[in-house]
A and B are shown apart, each in its own frame.
Chain A
């Protein structure tokens, strides 16, 4: 097996590889991959099992260990090439996995003292920053999207806290149902043999009473699609606490925001504190307060993330004023597709109670046949009503 020209002995070669693999793991982590500590160790163990001469096997071994979902799977090939260099190199196996001086693109992410490598490679590093920014941005920009970003500080702390408090009450029904999941019941469902047994042991094995159990009740999945376009601007004060309040529903709520395109914000609202979440969302949603293309965004949802989320056990809540600049046809088609796959669709409309505004929004009219409930969402009272309805719909 040809291990390339740089390698003087096997152990230093191995050490170099180990180091680069660990850095590669960090490189992937920077790009949103979930790389676990034990995956790194197992990746290295995997490499020991394989013949290191094959670059493909090397890649597959790392892929099996570092990838844990299909989005990562699709990106892996390109990131692998970016980090380990192109296959067309003169010594395919040697260069691909050698511990020698690296192409400069890896140096940008891995901050250490290997400046020599950087200087040596400045020639071929010229086009790297371009690739680099493309990866770092992660979100595609389009001419339609307004780039200015929403400043959440406009939302005063007081307002937020009040809203939060009200929303906690609004979320109560969900919590109740989650904790009430024991399954003893009075007289319904199947016989609870373990319990009958246990009780009978006290009486020398004479079952004196029958106990029953029933199915646990559980929650459906909640999918929120929130409109954050310009026309929704003045309702933002309701939108944001509402979205953030959803953290308490736990693992089954998924939150998206849209205006001209769709962005997932579940991971922000679920894992970060309120302030951090606000900060991240305003930074990462590229077209906050932009125009609206509801149909297009629904299509994005239906064909992307939605595939995973839509089932008869999902409740979809669309939060929008229905002010749509996109095509009517696509909206109707995508609403129909969405409605067919989920348990029910709710439309929360902040201008529902204002008849003048309501009649203007044609997007809304077109989508009406596919919506189970249209509810106003312009004050806390109406949000509470939404809460009641949701708590009824969500349990099955």
Chain B
């Protein structure tokens, strides 16, 4: 597969070859991010396929995906690099028996082989051969301090290790940053990225996604499921189901060897769609108790 996007059309083509259905707007942004070598910042409700973008990009460019899952308390030693202290300690013990000067010993234990590469350093060093895809997932879960580490990496793709020096990427990795908006991400970080908001898909798009991702589904069944989901998202839930729920549900139904939706199977598999007890109660009370509504959903 080629390692370059020639045009927006080519992006769409390659995405769909990897069974990712993207609208033209997203394809345009991916194209620009590739051409301008800028990270792409994706926001959207959970389960609309933000992370999937990075996975697909890695497949398209036939390269490695390096994933950094953010969490509260993530610090530089688990995101950038860390010295392997126990190993250094052992090495010192071995060197002691050889009667070596302290200065040489220090030199010896700060060799790159004692360095534990965490995702960001990995991404910078790996790109010496072929640019990897770096996925920084759910950045909003990390602390504000952590964003500061990212700035150096995202703007210059270089990491400074005091004992070794500055390591600079020769080929810039493709960076995808995702956020669920549980907090605001700092401007300095957003400034360096191209922004895209992934919305819940419309019928057309969701239908295409179901067909693309679940090859052995019948078209009628897919359209029935999609119609159901589109309606379901109009209800005021705590957490509206995303695309990933649609796909999970469709897979579950196929595993149950169903060919059509009926009232019984919907009630049985509600857990695939709604993940809060309150939402399930709301659905049963406001929607499923009414026979007219039930019929219009199916």
Contacts and interface: CB of A to CB of B under 8 A. Distances in A.
Interface of A: 34, 36, 38-39, 42, 45-46, 49-51, 56-57, 60-61, 63-65, 67-70, 73, 193-194, 196-197, 200-201, 204-205, 207, 215-216, 218, 221, 251, 307-309, 311
Contacts of A50: 8, 28, 31-32
Contact of A73 (B36, B38, B73, B195): B195
A120 to B, nearest CB: 33
Contacts of A68: 41, 187, 190-191, 195
A169 B31 CA distance: 53
Given A70-B197, A194-B83, 11 more contacts: A34-B187, A36-B187, A36-B191, A49-B32, A63-B195, A69-B43, A69-B195, A193-B86, A215-B73, A218-B143, A221-B183
B154 interface: no
A108 B8 CA distance: 35
Interface of B: 7-8, 24-25, 28-29, 31-33, 35-36, 38, 41, 43, 73, 83, 85-86, 88-89, 92-93, 95-96, 102, 105-106, 143-144, 181-184, 187, 190-192, 194-197
Nearest to A202: B102
A182 B31 CA distance: 43
A311 B141 CA distance: 11
B43 A70 contact: yes
B149 to A, nearest CB: 15
Given A60-B28, A64-B195, A196-B85, A308 B184 contact: yes
B88 A56 contact: no
Given A67-B195, A70-B43, A205-B96, A61 B32 contact: yes
A193 B195 CA distance: 40
The 4 A-B residue pairs with the shortest CB-CB distance, nearest first, are A205-B92, A193-B85, A64-B194, A68-B190
A196 B143 CA distance: 27
Given A42-B38, A194-B83, A207-B89, A251 B144 contact: yes
B182 A311 contact: yes
Interface-central residue, B182, B190, B194, by most chain A CB under 10 Å: B194
B89 A205 contact: yes
26 contacts: A49-B31, A50-B28, A51-B8, A60-B24, A60-B25, A61-B28, A64-B33, A64-B196, A67-B195, A68-B187, A69-B190, A69-B195, A70-B43, A73-B195, A194-B83, A197-B89, A200-B89, A201-B106, A204-B92, A205-B95, A205-B96, A207-B89, A218-B143, A308-B181, A308-B183, A308-B184
Nearest to B186: A251
Given A57-B28, A60-B25, A69 B8 contact: no
B25 to A, nearest CB: 5
Nearest to A39: B191
A45 B36 contact: yes
Given A50-B28, A73-B197, A42 B36 contact: yes
Contact of A64 (B32, B43, B88, B144): B32
Contacts of A45: 36
A308 B183 CA distance: 6
Contacts of B183: 221, 308-309
A39 B195 CA distance: 11
Nearest to A340: B278
A210 to B, nearest CB: 13
